[in-house]
Amino acid sequence: MTQLGRVYDLQSLFERLNRLYFDSTLKIEIAWSSREPTKARRSAILGFYCPTRKKITISKRLDRIDVPLFFVEHVLFHEMLHHVFPAEKHRMHTEKFKSFERLHPDYQLAKDWEKKSSSVLMGTRQKSLPFLNV
């Protein structure tokens, strides 16, 4: 299980969000996905919460310099909410869930970025920093 990615440290992001929004009460395992991203055809799963294992897995396609921190935090916050608001009658995204998700200050910014950046999220190539030749 690894929380430290090439760009983002999931554990520190989780601890910050947990402290700010959940009073440090969430006890959840967190990790980057183990598989390297492949080019997605129609959609990509960016995060997943497993209630039986109390574990959040975040796609490695978000551990990139061309994916902004606010978006990674948005996906992580979304998955944390799945722990707080379990599925009701097979509905994962209830109205209560959605109303709490919209309370995050970067909610609209993240949604707008996601709409205009689907090529970044669906692809496999990562932008290099201008001073790095990776």
Backbone angles phi, psi at 128, to 5 degrees: -95, 150
Asked if pLDDT for residue 34 goes beyond 50, the answer is yes
Structure tokens at 51: 């209630």
Local structure of residue 131 (DSSP, 8 states):
T
Question: In degrees, to the nearest 5, what angle opens at C-alpha 83 toward C-alphas 34 and 59?
Answer: 20
Q: Three-state DSSP class for 88?
A: strand
Q: How many CB atoms lie within 10 A of CB 49?
A: 19
Report the CATH fold assignment for 10-36+43-121.
Answer: Zincin-like (3.30.2010)
> What is the structure's pLDDT at 17?
97
Categorize the per-residue pLDDT at 118 as very low, low, confident or very high, splitting at 50, 70 and 90.
confident
CA distance 14 to 10: 6
> What is the structure's pLDDT at 134?
40
User: Which range, of 15-19, 49-53, 87-91, 117-121, averages the lowest pLDDT?
Assistant: 87-91
Categorize the per-residue pLDDT at 39 as very low, low, confident or very high, splitting at 50, 70 and 90.
low
> What is the structure's pLDDT at 92?
77
Please name the residues in contact with 3: beta carbons below 8 A apart, sequence gap of 6 or more: 9, 10, 11, 14, 30, 31, 32
- pTM for this entry: 0.82
Categorize the per-residue pLDDT at 128 as very low, low, confident or very high, splitting at 50, 70 and 90.
very low
